Chain A
Amino acid sequence: AQRVTQPEKLLSVFKGAPVELKCNYSYSGSPELFWYVQYSRQRLQLLLRHISRESIKGFTADLNKGETSFHLKKPFAQEEDSAMYYCALIPDSGYALNFGKGTSLLVTP
């Protein structure tokens, strides 16, 4: 069975500081990895997916198959980045998201 672990429930950083939200997964196949974000009073929405190799709102995430990790990074955090971030996995045999428990990011001025 697949499992997604986000070790930090809460991460607090100062504006302008680098931020890294950790995500580790356990799955023996070739999963699709995603980061979803939920801003205050907004819907859960896709931030980025590993297959696109994109940078969204300054965030990037690299899939490390050796370490089975998909950490989310941003070099300079902004106050508007404060939100709940979920790492998620779709196994190569399915279509539904398996979520981590989420990390609440708080960026303070």
Chain B
Amino acid sequence: DAGVIQSPRHEVTEMGQEVTLRCKPISGHDYLFWYRQTMMRGLELLIYFNNNVPIDDSGMPEDRFSAKMPNASFSTLKIQPSEPRDSAVYFCASSFGTANYEQYFGPGTRLTVT
């Protein structure tokens, strides 16, 4: 089992460009989470889905960020237009069931916006 898969692993883009990050959760998991890690703010939740439906997107910084989960095996996080302050490591995680269940993290995507 490859676990949670994220692509790309590294992304370097110029300010103003669109960036799409991808995540494949573990098969059978019904929760999917997107987190962002920065030096200043640490790890923070952006959005999470349950059964492909967005439940809490209060952590999404602004309208430039959007996330979708068209099916149980795929999710995207899109930034348009990107800005240098979006530079961070973006993690996807999945879990099965409620709060007592472990969240499994992907390797992360390191995004650099120049």
Given contacts A32-B100, A49-B100, A51-B100, contact A97 B91 (CB under 8 A): no
Q: How far, in whole Å, are A30 and B27 apart by their CA atoms in the complex? A: 30
Residue of B nearest to A90 (CB): B99
Given contacts A43-B105, A43-B107, A44-B91, contact A99 B42 (CB under 8 A): yes
Write the B64-99 contact mask toward A (1 if CB under 8 angstroms, else 0). 000000000000000000000000000101010011
Question: What DSSP secondary structure best describes chain B's contact surface?
Answer: strand
- Is there contact, CB below 8 Å, between A46 and B103? yes
Q: Does B12 contact A (CB under 8 A)?
A: no
List, in ascending order, chain B residues with CB within 8 A of A92's CB.
99
Given contacts A101-B42, A102-B42, contact A96 B56 (CB under 8 A): yes
List, in ascending order, chain B residues with CB within 8 A of A95's CB.
31, 48, 50, 55, 95, 98-99
Q: How far in angstroms is the closest Cβ of chain A from B23?
A: 13
Q: Does B16 contact A (CB under 8 A)?
A: no
Q: List 15 A-B contacts (CB under 8 A).
A: A32-B99, A32-B100, A44-B91, A46-B103, A86-B43, A90-B99, A92-B99, A95-B31, A95-B98, A96-B48, A97-B33, A99-B42, A99-B44, A100-B42, A102-B43
Give chain A's interface residues, CB within 8 Å of chain B: 32, 43-46, 49, 51, 86, 90, 92, 94-102
Q: How far, in whole Å, are A86 and B33 apart by their CA atoms in the complex? A: 17
Q: How far in angstroms is the closest Cβ of chain A from B109?
A: 13
- Is there contact, CB below 8 Å, between A96 and B45? yes
List, in ascending order, chain B residues with CB within 8 A of A90's CB.
99
List, in ascending order, chain B residues with CB within 8 A of A94's CB.
56, 99
Q: How far in angstroms is the closest Cβ of chain A from B44?
A: 7
List, in ascending order, chain A residues with CB within 8 A of B91's CB.
44
List, in ascending order, chain A residues with CB within 8 A of B55's CB.
95
Q: How far in angstroms is the closest Cβ of chain B from A39?
A: 12
Q: Does B102 contact A (CB under 8 A)?
A: yes
